Amino acid sequence: MSDADASGASDGDGSGAFGAAIERGEDVPLLTGSGEYTDDISLRGTTHLAIRRSDHAHARIESIDTSDAEAMEGVLAVFTGEDVVESGVPNTIPTAWDLPGLVQPQYRMLATDKVRHEGTPVAAVVAETRHAASDALEHIHVEYEELEHVTDPVDAVERDVPPVHDEAEDNVAFDFELGDADATDEAFADADRVASVDLRQPRLIPNAMEPRAALADWEEATGKLRLWMTSQNPHLHRMLLSAGTLGLPENKIQVIAPEVGGGFGSKIYHYPDEAVTAWCSMQLGRPVKWQATRSESYLTDCHGRDHVTTGEIALDDDGTIRGVRVETHAGLGAQLSQFGTATPSYLYATVLSGQYTIPAIHCRVVGAFTNTTPVDAYRGAGRAEGIYVIERLVDVAARELEMDPAELRRRNLVPPDEFPYESAAALVYDSGEYERAMDLALEHVDYEELRERQRELRDEGRYIGIGIGSFIESAGLSPSGLAGDLGAQAGGWESSIVRFDSTGSVTVLAGTADQGQGHRTTYAQVAAEELGVSVDDVTVVEGDTDRIPQGMGTYGSRSASVGGGSIARGAREVREKARRIAAHQLETSVDDIEFDDGEFHVAGAPDRSLHIQTIAHEAYLGHDLPEGMDPGLEETNFYDPENFTYPFGTHVAVVEVEPETGEIEIERYVAVDDCGEIINPMIVEGQVHGGIAQGIGAALYEGAAYDDDGHLRTRRMDEYVVPHATQLPDFETDNTVTPSPHNPIGVKGVGESATIAAAPTIVSAVADALEPFGVDHLDMPITPESVWRATGGDN
Amino acid sequence: MKPAQFEQHEPQTVEEAVSLLESLDDRAILSGGQSMVPMLRFRLAVPETVIDINRIESLDYLEEEDGWLTIGALARHADVEQSELVDENYGSFADAAPLVADPQIRNRGTVVGGVAQADPKGDWGSVLLAHEGEVVAHGPDGERVIPAKDFFLLPYDTTLDENELVTEIRVPTPEPREGSAYHKLKRKVGDYAMVGSAARLVFDEDGRIERAGIGLTAVDITNVRATDAEDHLEGERPGSDLFKRAGELAAEQSNPESDEHGDAGYKERMVNVLTQRALGDAAERAGVVKRRVSQ
C-alpha cells in the first residue's frame, strides 16, 4: 500500500473515509507497549490462581489431597470440584447450539468424578504470588483410577471402547444429515463418472499470541463481579457466566475485554478457567488473577477441525457436476464447547456446494466424543473444512476426467445472473462474480504459460505444481430467526450506539470485540463517512459490558458486515435527526436540506448552511430544537441482517517439490478476494495475509496429535509447527468488488476467507506437482517425509 | 510453567566461576540461556543456584590465533554469523550459524554453550567433529584440552569434570586445499535439526582427499562422526559416485529415531542426501571441483 493511498484518507471531512487505506489507529499503543492487556492490570490486593490439571486422558478421580499445598507459604486456598458443587452455584458450562438428538453431558467448572481429557481442571490454588500458586500445584495429591481412552473420532464410534460419557454409550453426540439423500443417490446413479477422496483434516491449535487470562474482582458489599478477560464477546460471556456457571444476575456482572491479543475463535468460548477465577474471587473476597501459560493454552484452548471424511463427486463426461456425497466423523473432544456442535454440522455441510451449481448434495456428520481437548470453531470454522472437501473433490475429479482443473471449475461456477442462488446445501448466496475473480487470479500467474513451463520442467526432472482454491464463505451468521431455526441459543444481530458528543466529536460504542482486526479504525471510517466528519473525530469503544449496552461479539467474519452495518444504520439515524434540526434552524423544510461533507445547506443556497458538529452542540444545548424533539444526538441500533453474506474468491499457488528430500517451496501465492465493499484496503490486505499464513500452516506444518497414552504429543511450540514469516512466500493480493445487497454498506467480511482458501490451494498445488507420481491427494499437514514417500523415495 | 526459585551468582573471572563450581553443589551454568532458560521454565532443571557467566568479559572472542580458530564461551551465534573471518574461511561455520534457532536466540545463545549442552540435535557439535576440533575447559587444576571426538558421551552428558567450565572451542585454521559445509533439514525456522550433516575435506596436491571429517546431527545419542564414510573418502578423488557411497555409509552408521517430524527411515535417507550435498559443497569450496550445476 503506497503512502499516497494512506494520505488520501484524513482530509478533514467524512467523504472518502470509507475505502481509504488509513493506518490503524490501534497500532501505536500496541507497538509502543502502552496497550493494556488483562495481565497488565493490577488491583490492590490481587491474588493469583493456578490450576491443577489432569495428566490423564481418561480417569476416575479417587481422591484429592490438598493439605500439603494448603500448608505452603503464601497459599491462601486450594479448591476442588466438590467445593464448587457445595457453593451452590449453577456450575454448568452450557452448549450454545442444539441439534436434533444431541447428547449434552454435564460440563462442570472443576471435575468431580472423572477427568475426560489431559488438561481437565481438577483443583485451583490461590496464592499471594503467581510463583507460590505455581509451586503449590505439584503438592496437590490426586489419586486416579486410569480408564481406557480414545482420541480418534472414528475409533470412538466404531471400536468397542468405554464411553467418554455414560450418556453416550457409542460416543455419538449427534448424527447430523443435510441435503437430499435420495436425489443424491439418483444423481450418482445417472452420472457418467464418480470420483472420491478419503481425507483427514487434522486438529489445529489456535496459538493466539496472548494466552487466555482473567482478573476477577468480587465486591461483596454490592454483590457485583467485575471480570477482565480475554474475550471475543464480552456480552456473550456475561450471559453464559450468569445463566450457566455463576448464577449471578446479568446486571451484577461486568465483563471487560481490554486489549486482546488474537483469538481466531479460541476466545469465543466459556471455559472453566475464567469461571473458576471469578468463583475464587467470590470465595475469598479478593481480586484473583489467572494467566494461562502457553502450555495451558495448548492443552485447553479449544482446538479446531479434526475431521475424517469420505467425499464423492458424480460428474458427466463433459465435466458437469451432478452430485456430491460426504460422510464425516468429527471429533468434538471430551466436552461440548458452545459452538462445537454447530461448527462441524451447519457451518460445514452448508458450504459443500462451494462456488458450483450442484443439483444434489447429501452430507452426514457423526459428532464423536473423544478423550481430547474440546474442539470448536477455529478461523474458517466449518466453512474451511467444507470448502476443503469440495475443492479436493473437484481436483480429484479433474484428474479422473483428464480435464484441466481450472476448466472443470469454470464449467460449474454459479453464473452471475443466477443470484440470489439457492444451493442444494440449504444456503441462498447473496451475490458473486466467481469467474471474474478466478480469471483475475489465473491472469496473475499467467496460467497457460505456467502449465507449459510445468511440462518443460517435468522433462528436466523438476516438479512444480499449480494449485487452485475457489471458495465461498458464509459469513455473519444471521438473521437471528434463521440461526434459531438451526439450533442457535443466541441471536445473530449486532448492536451499537453512535453518539455525537456536545462539542462535536463522535463516540461509537460497538458490541463486537476486537482482537486485532482493527475495529477502532474501520468503524471510525464507517461512522465518519455517514456523518461527514473526520475519522480522527471518531472514537470507537468496545469490550466493556457496563459501557456498551448490548452486543454479540466478533467471530465468523461478522464484525464488518453486522457490526459495521449496525453503526452505519445508527449513524444514518443520527444524521437524519441532525437534518431535522438543521431544517428547523435554517427555517426551511427537511426536504430542502442537502448534506455534503458534513454540511447541511439549503438547496440552491449553499451559503445558508450548518455543520453537523455545530448541530451536535445545538442538540445538547436544547435551546432551539424542532417542536416536540428530545435533546441529544445519539442512536442505539440493533441490526439483524436479512441473510448471511458470501465472500468469495480464488487463490492460486505455485509450488516446487524436491523429490530427493520431499521439501516444498512455495514459489508464488496469488490471492484474489471479493469481500464486497472494502472499508480499508490495508486492513483487508492484512487479514488476507494472516489468513493465508494460517492456511499454509494447516496445509504444510501444523496438525496436533495425541500419543498412545492420550497425551497431546504436540504440546509446545517446538513440537507443534507454526510457520515463521520467513517460511512464507510473498503474498500477491488483489480484489474484485461485488457488493453484498444484504447490508447497508455492501460489505461481506474478510476475516476468515484466506484461511479457508489457502489450505485447499496449497494441497492442490502439491498434489498437482506430484501428478507424475500418480498422487492425487496427500493429507495435511503435508510434510517433507510424506512427499518423499509419495514420490517413491523410500523404494 | 514458571521456574522454581534459585539463587544467581555472577562471577567476573574464570577463576571465580570455577571456585563457585567447587563450592556449590546444586548449580547450573547460564551463558546465553538458549537451552537453560526453557529448562528452568519447564522445571526440567531445578538447580538451587545459577552461575551466570555473562560478566566474564575475557571469554568474549572469536579470532584466529596460533593455527586455530578460537571461539570463546561468550561468543554468540550471531557473532559467528556476522564474522567476515568465518565467512571467508570456514564454510561449515558460515552455513550453520544462520540455521541455528532464530535471530533473537542467535543474539543471545552461544556456540560454546551449544557444544557444552551436548544436545544431539545441536548443530555445533557436528561442525566441531567434522573439523576435528577441540574443547577447552577450565577446572580447579587449570586448563584442559579435550578433542571433540572424546567430548560427547550421552544426550546432555559429556566427559567434562564436575567442576570444569568450558571456556572455548577451537578448530584448526584451514589448510591450503580445504573446504567445509553444513546442511540441515528442519520443519521450520528456529527448529532443531531433523537431520544435519557437516563435512570437511582436505585435499592433497594431486587433488585426492587427504582427510575427511563428517559430523552428524540429531541421528544418534550424541553428535557423531560418520567414520566409515570418512575412511571411504580418504585417498580418493572427489566425484558424485564417491560421495554417493559416502552418503550411504553415513546413513548406515546413523541411528535416528522416529518422531513427529519424520520417521527413522526417512531421516536415514536424509543423512545420505545431506551428507552428499555437504561433501559436494566442501569439495567445491576447497577449489578442487567445479561449481556444481545448480539444483
Domain range annotation of chain B: 7-54, 57-172, 178-285
pLDDT of A13 over the 80 cut: no
As assigned by CATH, the class of the B7-54 domain is alpha beta
pTM: 0.95
CATH 3.90.1170.50-classified regions of chain A: 44-147+213-260+267-291
Q: Per-residue pLDDT tens for B42-95?
A: 889 999 999 999 999 999 999 999 999 999 999 999 999 999 999 999 999 999
Confidence of residue B140 (pLDDT cuts 50, 70, 90): very high
Closest Cβ opposite residue A724 in set B42, B189, B265: B189
Quick one: pLDDT at residue A4? 34
Q: Give this complex's ipTM.
A: 0.90
pLDDT bin (cut points 50, 70, 90) of residue A795 is low
pLDDT at B268 over 50: yes
Which one of B260, B276, B295 makes the best mutation probe of the A interface by having the most chain A beta carbons within 10 Å?
Answer: B260
Encode pLDDT of A25-36 as tens digits: 999 999 999 999
Architecture of the A307-477+643-790 domain:
2-Layer Sandwich (3.30)
Chain B residues within an 8 Å CB radius of A663: 185
Amino acid, res. A111: A
Confidence grade of residue A288 (pLDDT, cut at 50, 70, 90): very high
- Residue in A134, A724, A727 nearest the CB of B1: A134
Nearest to A727 among B1, B189, B266 (CB): B189
Asked if A721 and B295 come within 8 Å (Cβ–Cβ), the reply is no
The CA distance from A137 to the nearest CA of chain B, in Å, is: 10
Enumerate the residues of chain B whose CB falls inside 8 A of the CB of residue A714. 260
Residues 6+ apart with CB under 8 A from A776: A197, A395, A396, A399, A767
Q: Does B1 touch chain A (CB under 8 A)?
A: yes
From the list A103, A59, A66, the residue with the least C-alpha distance to A82 is A66
pLDDT of A762 above 70: yes
What mean pLDDT is reported for chain A? 95
Using the predicted structure, report yes or no on whether residue A274 has a pLDDT greater than 50: yes
- Chain A residue nearest residue B4, CA to CA: A135
A-B Cβ pairs (cutoff 8 Å, strict): 58
- A727 and B270 in contact by Cβ < 8 A? no
CB-based contacts of B140, cutoff 8 Å, min separation 6 = B18, B19, B22, B163
What is the pLDDT, as a whole number, of residue B286? 96
Q: Cβ contact (<8 Å) for A724 and B187?
A: no
Mind telling me how many Å the CA of B1 is from chain A's nearest CA? 6
| Residues A341-377 pLDDT 10s | 999 999 999 999 999 999 999 999 999 999 999 999 9
Using CA atoms, how far apart are residues A722 and A713, in angstroms rounded to an integer? 15
**Does A726 contact B189 at a Cβ distance shorter than 8 Å?**
yes
Question: CA geometry: angle at A727 spanning B270 and A438, to 5°?
Answer: 115
Low-confidence winner among A208-212, A318-322, B101-105, B181-185 (lowest mean pLDDT): B101-105
Domain spanning B178-285: CATH 3.40.50.300: no
Q: Is A516's pLDDT higher than 70?
A: yes
Inter-chain touch A701–B188, beta carbons under 8 Å: yes
Cβ within 8 Å, pair A785-B2: no
Shortest CA distance from A723: residue in chain B:
B188
- pLDDT, residue A1, reads 32
Q: Do A718 and B266 touch (CB under 8 A)?
A: no
Cis peptide before A626 (omega within 30 of 0): no
Residue from A71, A128, A456, A505 nearest A286 by CA: A128
Instruction: Inspect the interface and report whether the beta carbons of B269 and A793 lie closer than 8 Å.
Output: yes
Which residues 237-276 of B have a C-beta within 8 angstroms of A? 260-263, 265-266, 269-270, 273
pLDDT(A9) > 50 = no
Pick the CATH number of B57-172 from 3.30.465.10, 3.10.20.30, 3.90.1150.10, 3.30.365.10: 3.30.465.10
* pLDDT (average), residues A301-324: 98
> Are A789 and B266 an interchain contact pair (Cβ–Cβ within 8 Å)?
yes
Residue A594, min C-alpha distance to chain B (Å): 58
Which of A295, A662, A721 lies closest to B188 in CB terms?
A: A721
pLDDT in tens, A455-499: 999 999 999 999 999 999 999 888 999 899 999 999 999 999 999
Please report residues of A whose CB lies closer than 8 A to that of B273: 660-661
pLDDT at A5: 34
The answer to whether B4 contacts chain A (CB < 8 Å) is yes
Which residue of chain A is at minimal alpha-carbon distance from B43?
A135
Option in A701, A724, A788 nearest B190 (CB): A724
Nearest CA in chain B to A135: B4
Q: Which of A718, A785, A793 lies at the smallest CB-CB distance from B263? A: A785
Is B134 a residue whose pLDDT tops 90?
yes
A712-738 mean pLDDT: 93
> Looking at beta carbons, which residues of chain B come within 8 Å of A298?
none
CA gap A764, A464 in Å, rounded? 12
CATH topology of domain A44-147+213-260+267-291: Aldehyde Oxidoreductase; domain 3 (3.90.1170)
- Confidence at residue A742, expressed as pLDDT on a 0 to 100 scale: 84
| CB-CB under 8 Å, A785 with B262 | yes
Are the beta carbons of B269 and A658 separated by less than 8 Å?
A: no
Are A783 and B2 in contact (CB < 8 Å)? no
pLDDT at B259: 85
In this complex, do A794 and B273 lie within 8 Å of one another by their Cβ atoms?
Answer: no
CA of A50: which chain B residue's CA is closest?
Answer: B1
CB proximity under 8 Å: B 61-100 to A = none
- Supply the CATH classification number for the domain A13-19+493-639: 3.30.365.10
Phi-psi sector, B243: left (phi>0), alpha (psi -120 to 50), beta: alpha
Q: What confidence category does residue B97 fall into, taking pLDDT thresholds of 50, 70 and 90?
A: very high
- For residue A15, the model assigns a pLDDT of 66
Q: Are A542 and A513 spatial neighbours (Cβ–Cβ below 8 Å)?
A: yes
**Residue A720: is its pLDDT beyond 70?**
yes
SS3 A130: helix
A interface with B, Cβ–Cβ below 8 Å:
130-131, 134-135, 293, 295, 658, 660-663, 701, 705, 713-714, 718-719, 721-724, 726-727, 783-785, 788-789, 793-794
* The pLDDT of residue A2 is above 80: no
Asked if B190 reaches chain A (Cβ–Cβ under 8 Å), the answer is yes
Q: How far apart are CA A429 and CA A348, in angstroms?
A: 15
Nearest-angstrom CA–CA distance, B295 and B293: 6
Residue A177 has pLDDT above 60, yes or no: yes
A657-690 per-residue burial string, b: 16 or more CB within 10 A, e: under 16: bbbbbbebebbbbbbbbbbbbbbbbbbbbbbbbb
Scanning every residue of chain B, which has its alpha carbon at the shortest distance from the alpha carbon of A133? B2
Residue of B nearest to A700 (CA): B187
| A707-714 contacts at long range (C-beta below 8 A, 24 or more positions apart) | A709/A57, A710/A56, A710/A57, A710/A58, A710/A117, A710/A118, A710/A149, A710/A151, A710/A371, A710/A372, A711/A55, A711/A57, A711/A118, A712/A118, A712/A119, A712/A298, A712/A299, A712/A372, A712/A373, A713/B260, A714/A205, A714/A298, A714/B260
The residues, any chain, with a CB within 8 Å of residue A461's CB and separated by 6 or more, are: none
Q: What pLDDT is stored for residue A718 in this prediction? A: 82
- Percent with pLDDT over 90 in chain A: 95
Whether the pLDDT of residue A7 is over 70: the answer is no
- Residue B46, chain A, CB below 8 Å: the answer is no
Residue in chain B nearest A725 by alpha carbon: B189
- The residue type of A204 is L
- The CATH 3.30.365.10 domain(s) of chain A lie at 13-19+493-639, 307-477+643-790
DSSP A142-198: EEEEE------HHHHHHS----SSTT-TT-EEEEEEEE-HHHHHHHHHHSSEEEEEE
Query: Do A718 and B273 make contact, defined as CB atoms within 8 angstroms?
Result: no
Beta strands in A334-435 (DSSP E): 360-369, 421-422, 428-429
**Distance between CA atoms of residues A467 and A459, nearest Å:** 20
CA-nearest residue of chain B to A51? B1
* Alpha-carbon A407 to chain mean position: 32
**Whether the predicted pLDDT of A758 surpasses 50:** yes
Judge whether residue A6 has pLDDT over 60: no
In terms of CA atoms, which chain A residue is nearest residue B258? A785
Residue of A nearest to B191 (CA): A718
Interface test with A, best of B46, B184, B269, B294 (most A CBs within 10 A): B269
Contact A721 B191 (CB under 8 A): yes
For residue range A539-576, list pLDDT tens digits in order: 999 999 999 999 999 999 999 999 999 999 999 999 99
| Phi, then psi, of B290 in degrees rounded to 5 | -75, 160
Residue type at A71?
A
Angle between helices A564-585 and A612-621 (to 10 degrees): 80
Query: How do residues B215-231 score in pLDDT, each as one tens digit?
Result: 999 999 999 999 999 99
CA–CA gap between residue A782 and residue A305 (Å, rounded): 16
How would DSSP label each residue in A516-534?
A: SS-HHHHHHHHHHHHHT--
- Mean pLDDT rounded to a whole number for chain B: 94
pLDDT of residue B291: 57
The Cα of A749 is separated from the nearest Cα of chain B by a number of Å equal to 31
pLDDT band with cut points at 50, 70 and 90 for residue A14: low
Residue A3 scores a pLDDT above 50: no
Q: What is the per-residue pLDDT across B15-52, written as a single tens digit (0 to 9) for each?
A: 999 999 999 999 999 999 999 999 998 889 999 999 99
Mean pLDDT of B100-121: 95
Q: pLDDT-derived band of residue A8, with 50, 70 and 90 as boundaries?
A: very low
